[in-house]
């Protein structure tokens, strides 16, 4: 029985990202803001592929696409062509997709390039522009529904497709690649990854040099890692039973969390690529690329380096913060209000991030603002609350969105600083725990035990420093007493 | 001894069936017979293009020298109702297609 | 009154503007003619009489009030049924689009309406513009007004027949491989395929989009120049529309062709060209020489490969352009709801399309498919480059190139329709212009045994001025060659 090392796994991705910042679709002037709208309301004769209609390219889409190619270190073609990808499907108004191709005389937007993750380079094969199809839904499941419901609002939306080389070796790397790509696109301001369906991908995986299996229908980045992990397990068990893995296309079922074989004639698909006669070639000049490069916003890697330098952050903190534009923005907003960036970053990459992961939400879905966090940090500095209390405070803020001062007042979280008050409670505890008191004279652990009791009795509201001082004071008094 | 087999220029019945499936056109047995003869006649005629030397000749996908035609990213009104009511079958606000499976 | 319907458009415009002729009367006369002979000729698929009369009345009112009117003021126009007319059924002569009513206009239709032209109806054609005889129409063939047992040519046969029989004063057709020029030749009218990119294709239901153009079909050359001037303009909705200033082509109607160098294409007189056609065309060439032009023969060797290259490219593009017809968003849908989507599509297209369309889609799909792409599609596109180069060289020596439009006289209905390849051969002289993208005009140059012969002339891209000038001069000096079918 052979054990497969991770070095023998090859994963490649085909990522489709909508250019969500465009106001219109790729080839027509319909509004691209279709989310939440009624079906079939953002359609016109052109994106519906009605007879006699013709496509005209959105100028800004090309500019955005060039920015992506620059950010991904890709080689931009100087003469770009659009090609037709011919296949029938109910979500395709023309039963061909206007896309790009890198064979048969095709010239896509850009070839080559890379993204760094964990000091590793994931190479890009090509980047291209294409149109999104419509959306299918069913009454019931895809298998049981007697008909299919089609909404063409999404048909014609501009997509950037990024195809990688099979350089990823683990599902985790695949997820990291996608996060990095998303961060780059968000930093460029051309795509908002938090919008539903704005980023989709297909994954290719092969084990131990075996045939490539394609997994389609992965709707989110989280699902990518899950899907790939499942597929590795599935393939390994087959290999152990001596079964060879053949080349095939599988469909990721999000609900059952398995990949299903698409053993349909889709595999005999022949896309018959040829140049789109209704669109002319697009010449991209070096000067134009330089101009776009000059005006490009700061990218994640750049930002990470700046965070380290400007805010003196540890590498790890800077790296985690810049994985998401929203997180990095939040951090910088905080630094405008509070002068301890490292402190801010610790809280963000710690408690904050855990909360987001646990709840599976995005940072902009929080009711928390930079003001909330900063006020909380000030209360800690002033000694109003302990660090431990702050953790509960944070949780409460995340849940309710109330400001720190309101919660502190409401839940009476102020650290108890009154020495007289503390002394009375300490007295009570020492009386209740005579054995511990005896032990405490010699054993440090017993003091901790008493501290614990004290903390419990005061619901952690006591300033530990003061509590410690008073207990030791009292104990040494008692000790003197015992001796004398 | 090398035997050179000249590839027959034409389309077999099986190929016609496959191509008809790619093009989503159902054909009857009679049509298959008829098409087989007609298409092969036509392809035999097309075969004369093999005689031309096109080495190093680029294809002319576009006859015009036109390049870089763009449209500004400005929203114009859609035409949803007029288009939607042309659809042969609909359900609520969806276009109704046959089952997938 | 019926005299007026035989007048050319420019005279109708003058008289209506001068208030000598009421647009409503003239339009009504056209419909009277239609009622009389349409049942024999069958040039129309849809008539829009109510709309036309309404528009005519509006124009008459405008004239009364002294308001400004357009260059096509009140003229009755037939529009080929593959050009979208908003609110009016547009069928492409196909069962697939039998009930299709587009909610948008083709740009050329808007241009015509902006110039106060009046649409009389939608003209019959070969289904999806695939054919050379108008016999492949779901609605039945059009008959040649000169001999009802013969074809009017195709695919714009209906448009040409309306002009020849005065059932319309102007017409629009489309030309992918000769579909304007062929019926112009067979019906003894003028037909022009403009330079590719000169006229907007927005709203032209695509058959082969790198080859086709909408163009005028008219009684004479002046009308041709007039209509071209109205439809040839830049369209931002068409990425293949050239951005050059709009011109008035009537400025080029000069009766002077002294020194014009004419190249006679030897390959256009090859085997398959009927003697009477050859004689008729050579007579015309000699007449042009008599008017001051010089001619010389020229051989363009690669033209032997033009026809197969054309068909491979056209069928390939068609197979993709017609993929959208699946019955889901519009068009023919089978009533049975029990099949899966792939089967429904296959049946919709089986019953929605005619045989010629299905043949071309299958061949086109084949020519683009894996394993055959290089051999067919790519090869044909390379030959296209060679042919383009041949013509570029020829135009260094000559101003216009000349030959017959069709190698044969109009044939009988039913004679060629069973043999696709024989039908394709009719296009041998017209396809080069589409492959190259250059403008080409067909003008009547005589009759043989009562059947029309067409003279074809080609010029470099965007040199419609040359074609119109030579054609105008020819017609000006030999007016009797351009007869219209007389119904009195």
The model's pLDDT over B17-54, given as tens digits with 9 standing for 90+, comes to: 999 999 999 999 999 999 999 999 999 999 999 999 99
Q: Does domain B10-47 have CATH number 3.30.360.10?
A: no
Write out the residue range of the structural domain in which residue A350 sits: 296-411
Give A393 or C409, the one with higher predicted confidence: C409
Where are the alpha helices (H) located in C157-305, listed in sequence order? 157-164, 181-187, 221-231, 275-290
Q: In which region does residue A361 sit, left (phi positive, over 0), alpha (psi from -120 to 50) or beta (all else)?
A: beta
Question: In this complex, which chains have at least 3 CB pairs below 8 Å with chain B?
Answer: A, C
Q: Of the candidates B24, B62, B97, which has its C-beta nearest C210's C-beta?
A: B62
- Over residues A182-204, mean pLDDT: 93
Are A385 and A252 contained in the same domain? Answer: no
Residues 67-106 of A with CB under 8 A from B: 81, 88, 90, 105
Which residue among A256, A277, A292 closes a domain? A292
Asked whether the predicted pLDDT for residue A416 surpasses 70, the reply is: no
Instruction: Report the CATH number at residue A462.
Output: 1.10.10.410
Contact B59 A270 (CB under 8 A): no
- Sorted by sequence, the CB contacts under 8 Å of residue C184 that are 6+ apart come out as C153, C160, C190, C191, C217, C405, C442, C443, C454
Residues A93-123 have pLDDT tens digits of 999 999 999 998 899 999 999 999 988 999 9
pLDDT (0 to 100) of residue A411: 74
Give the confidence band of A417 by pLDDT, cuts at 50, 70, 90: low
Are A284 and A310 contained in the same domain? Answer: no
Residues A298-307 have pLDDT tens digits of 999 999 999 9
pLDDT (0 to 100) of residue A1: 38
- Spell out the domain ranges in chain B: 10-47
pLDDT (0 to 100) of residue A3: 47
Are A225 and A80 contained in the same domain? Answer: yes
Are A266 and A345 contained in the same domain? Answer: no
Query: Could you give all domains of chain C from N- to C-terminal order, each with its CATH number?
Result: 4-257+458-481 (3.90.1300.10)
CB count within 10 Å of CB B68 equals 15
Are A179 and A208 contained in the same domain? Answer: yes
* Measured CA distances, A403 to A262, A350, A353, A374, C171 (Å): 52, 20, 19, 10, 75
Q: Which ranges of chain C have pLDDT less than 50? A: none
pLDDT (0 to 100) of residue A183: 95
pLDDT (0 to 100) of residue B35: 95
Are A58 and A108 contained in the same domain? Answer: yes
Report the relative pairing of strands B94-98 and C76-80 from DSSP bridges. Answer: unpaired
CA distance A424 to A430: 10
Asked whether the predicted pLDDT for residue A385 surpasses 90, the reply is: no
β-strand partners of A92: none
Are A76 and A180 contained in the same domain? Answer: yes
pLDDT (0 to 100) of residue A269: 78
Which residue among A248, A268, A292 closes a domain? A292
pLDDT (0 to 100) of residue A265: 55
Are A407 and A366 contained in the same domain? Answer: yes
Instruction: Find which of C329, C338, C350, C362 to mutate to test the B interface (most B CBs within 10 Å of its CB).
Output: C362
Question: In this complex, which chains have at least 3 CB pairs below 8 Å with chain A?
Answer: B, C
Mean pLDDT of chain A: 89
C485, C448, C407, C440: which is closest to C177 by C-alpha? C440
Instruction: Find which of A51, A87, A97 to mutate to test the C interface (most C CBs within 10 Å of its CB).
Output: A51
Q: Of the candidates A23, A42, A275, which has its C-beta nearest B73's C-beta?
A: A23
CA distance C276 to C407: 10
Residues 103-142 of C with CB under 8 A from A: 103-104, 106
C78, C66, C68: which is closest to C117 by C-alpha? C78
Q: Is residue A381 part of a domain?
A: yes
Buried-state track C267-284, b at ≥16 Cβ within 10 A, e below 16: bbbeeebeebbbebbebb
Which ipTM did the prediction report? 0.96
Give the confidence band of A2 by pLDDT, cuts at 50, 70, 90: very low
Which residue among A411, A434, A461 closes a domain? A411
CA distance A70 to A297: 12
Give the confidence band of A483 by pLDDT, cuts at 50, 70, 90: low
Q: Of the candidates C196, C236, C347, which has its C-beta nearest B26's C-beta?
A: C347
- Over residues A411-416, mean pLDDT: 70
Mean pLDDT of chain B: 91
- Over residues A463-468, mean pLDDT: 78
Lowest mean pLDDT among A151-160, A365-374, C471-480: A365-374
- Sorted by sequence, the CB contacts under 8 Å of residue C333 that are 6+ apart come out as B88, B89, C327, C344, C348
Asked whether the predicted pLDDT for residue B56 surpasses 60, the reply is: yes
- The three-class DSSP label of residue A436 is helix
Total domains present in chain A: 3
Interchain contact B67–C (C-beta under 8 A):
no
Asked whether the predicted pLDDT for residue A365 surpasses 80, the reply is: yes
Q: Is residue A406 part of a domain?
A: yes
CA distance C281 to C193: 19
Decide: residue A82, CB within 10 A, 0-12 exposed, 13-18 middle, 19+ buried.
Answer: buried
Question: Which positions in chain A touch B97 (Cβ < 8 Å)?
Answer: 90, 136, 147-150
Asked whether the predicted pLDDT for residue A315 surpasses 50, the reply is: yes
Give the confidence band of B4 by pLDDT, cuts at 50, 70, 90: low
Give C416 or A410, the one with higher predicted confidence: C416
Q: Is residue A1 part of a domain?
A: no
Q: Of the candidates A45, A270, A279, which has its C-beta nearest C239's C-beta?
A: A279
- Over residues A266-281, mean pLDDT: 88
Are A281 and A255 contained in the same domain? Answer: yes
Lowest mean pLDDT among A308-312, A397-401, C256-260, C318-322: A397-401
Are A359 and A462 contained in the same domain? Answer: no
Are A45 and A134 contained in the same domain? Answer: yes
Asked whether the predicted pLDDT for residue B3 surpasses 60, the reply is: no
Are A259 and A311 contained in the same domain? Answer: no
């Amino acid at each position: 029985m052979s054990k497969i090392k991770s070095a023998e796994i090859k994963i490649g991705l085909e990522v489709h990202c909508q250019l969500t910042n465009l106001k219109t679709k790729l080839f027509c002037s319909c509004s691209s803001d279709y989310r939440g709208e009624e079906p079939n309301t953002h359609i016109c004769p052109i994106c519906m592929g009605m007879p006699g209609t013709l496509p005209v390219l959105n100028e800004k889409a090309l500019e955005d696409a060039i920015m992506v190619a620059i950010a991904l270190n890709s080689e931009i073609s100087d003469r770009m062509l659009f090609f037709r990808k011919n296949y029938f499907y109910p979500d395709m108004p023309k039963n061909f997709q206007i896309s790009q191709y890198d064979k048969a005389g095709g010239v896509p937007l850009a070839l080559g390039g890379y993204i760094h993750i964990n000091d590793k380079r994931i190479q890009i094969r090509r980047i291209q522009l294409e149109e999104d199809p419509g959306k299918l839904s069913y009454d019931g499941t895809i298998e049981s529904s007697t008909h299919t419901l089609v909404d063409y609002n999404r048909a014609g939306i501009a997509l950037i497709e990024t195809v990688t080389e099979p350089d990823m070796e683990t599902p985790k790397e695949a997820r990291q690649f996608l996060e990095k790509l998303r961060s780059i696109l968000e930093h460029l301001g051309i795509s908002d990854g938090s919008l539903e369906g704005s980023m989709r991908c297909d994954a290719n995986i092969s084990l131990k040099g075996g045939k490539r299996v394609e997994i389609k229908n992965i709707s989110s980045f989280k699902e990518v890692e899950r899907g790939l992990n499942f597929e590795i397990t599935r393939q390994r068990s087959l290999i152990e039973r001596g079964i060879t893995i053949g080349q095939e296309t599988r469909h990721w079922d999000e609900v059952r969390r398995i990949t299903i074989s698409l053993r349909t004639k889709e595999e005999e698909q022949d896309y018959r690529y040829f140049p789109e006669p209704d669109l002319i070639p697009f010449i991209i000049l070096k000067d134009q690329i330089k101009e776009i490069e000059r005006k490009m916003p700061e990218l994640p890697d750049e930002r990470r380096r700046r965070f380290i330098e400007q805010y003196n952050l540890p590498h790890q903190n800077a790296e985690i913060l810049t994985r998401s534009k929203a997180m990095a923005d939040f951090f910088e907003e905080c630094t405008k209000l509070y002068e301890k960036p490292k402190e801010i970053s610790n809280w963000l990459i710690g408690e904050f991030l855990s909360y987001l992961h646990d709840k599976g939400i995005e940072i902009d879905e929080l009711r928390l603002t930079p003001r909330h966090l900063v006020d909380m940090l000030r209360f800690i500095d002033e000694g109003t609350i302990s660090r431990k209390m702050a953790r509960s405070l944070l949780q409460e803020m995340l849940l309710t969105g109330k400001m720190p001062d309101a919660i502190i007042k409401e839940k009476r979280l102020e650290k108890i600083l009154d020495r007289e008050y503390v002394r009375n409670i300490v007295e009570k505890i020492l009386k209740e725990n005579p054995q511990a008191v005896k032990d405490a004279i010699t054993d440090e652990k017993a003091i901790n035990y008493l501290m614990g009791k004290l903390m419990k009795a005061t619901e952690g509201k006591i300033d530990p420093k003061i509590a410690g001082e008073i207990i030791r004071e009292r104990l040494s008094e008692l000790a003197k007493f015992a001796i004398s | 001894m090398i035997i050179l087999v000249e590839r027959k220029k034409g389309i077999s019945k099986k190929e016609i069936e496959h191509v008809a499936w790619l093009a989503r056109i159902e054909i009857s047995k009679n049509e298959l017979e008829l098409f087989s003869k007609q298409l092969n006649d036509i392809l035999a005629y097309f075969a004369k293009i093999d005689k031309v030397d096109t080495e190093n000749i680029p294809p002319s996908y576009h006859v015009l020298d036109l390049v870089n035609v763009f449209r500004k990213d400005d929203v114009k009104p859609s035409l949803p109702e007029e288009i939607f009511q042309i659809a042969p079958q609909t359900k609520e606000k969806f276009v109704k297609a046959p089952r997938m499976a | 009154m019926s005299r007026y319907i035989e007048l050319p458009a420019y005279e109708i415009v003058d008289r209506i503007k001068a208030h000598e002729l009421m647009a409503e009367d003239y339009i009504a006369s056209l419909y009277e003619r239609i009622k009389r002979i349409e049942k024999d000729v069958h040039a129309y698929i849809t008539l829009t009489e109510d709309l036309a009369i309404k528009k005519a009345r509006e124009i008459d009112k405008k004239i009364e009030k002294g308001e400004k009117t357009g260059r096509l003021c009140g003229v009755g126009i037939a529009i080929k049924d593959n050009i979208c007319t908003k609110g009016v059924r547009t069928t492409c002569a196909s069962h697939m689009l039998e009930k299709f009513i587009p909610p948008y206009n083709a740009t050329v239709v808007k241009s015509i309406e902006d110039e106060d032209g009046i649409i009389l109806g939608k003209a019959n054609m070969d289904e999806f513009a695939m054919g050379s005889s108008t016999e492949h129409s779901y609605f039945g063939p059009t008959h040649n007004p000169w001999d009802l047992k013969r074809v009017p040519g195709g695919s714009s046969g209906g448009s040409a027949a309306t002009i020849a029989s005065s059932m319309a004063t102007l017409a629009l057709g489309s030309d992918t491989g000769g579909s304007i020029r062929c019926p112009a030749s067979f019906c003894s009218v003028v037909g022009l395929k403009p330079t590719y990119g000169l006229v907007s294709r927005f709203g032209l239901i695509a058959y082969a989009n790198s080859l086709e153009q909408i163009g005028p079909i008219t009684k004479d050359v002046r009308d041709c120049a007039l209509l071209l001037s109205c439809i040839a303009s830049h369209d931002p909705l068409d990425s293949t529309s050239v951005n050059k200033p709009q011109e008035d082509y009537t400025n080029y109607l000069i009766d002077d062709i002294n020194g014009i160098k004419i190249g006679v294409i030897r390959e256009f007189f090859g085997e398959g060209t009927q003697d009477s056609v050859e004689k008729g065309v050579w007579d015309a060439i000699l007449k042009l020489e008599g008017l001051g032009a010089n001619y010389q023969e020229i051989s363009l060797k690669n033209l032997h490969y033009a026809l197969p290259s054309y068909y491979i490219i056209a069928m390939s593009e068609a197979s993709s352009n017609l993929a959208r017809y699946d019955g889901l968003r519009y068009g023919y849908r089978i009533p049975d709801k029990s099949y899966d989507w792939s089967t429904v599509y296959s049946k919709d297209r089986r019953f929605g399309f005619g045989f010629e369309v299905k043949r071309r889609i299958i061949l086109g799909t084949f020519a683009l498919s894996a394993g055959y792409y290089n051999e067919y599609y790519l090869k044909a596109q390379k030959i296209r480059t060679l042919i383009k180069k041949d013509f570029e060289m020829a135009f260094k020596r000559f101003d216009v190139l000349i030959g017959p439009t069709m190698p044969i006289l109009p044939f009988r209905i039913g004679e060629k329709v069973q043999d696709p390849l024989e039908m394709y051969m009719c296009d041998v002289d017209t396809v080069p212009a589409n492959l190259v993208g250059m403008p080409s005009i067909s003008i009547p140059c005589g009759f043989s045994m009562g059947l029309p012969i067409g003279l074809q002339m080609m010029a470099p891209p965007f040199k419609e001025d040359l074609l119109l000038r030579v054609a105008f001069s020819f017609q000006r000096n030999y007016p009797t060659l351009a007869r219209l079918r007389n119904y009195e």
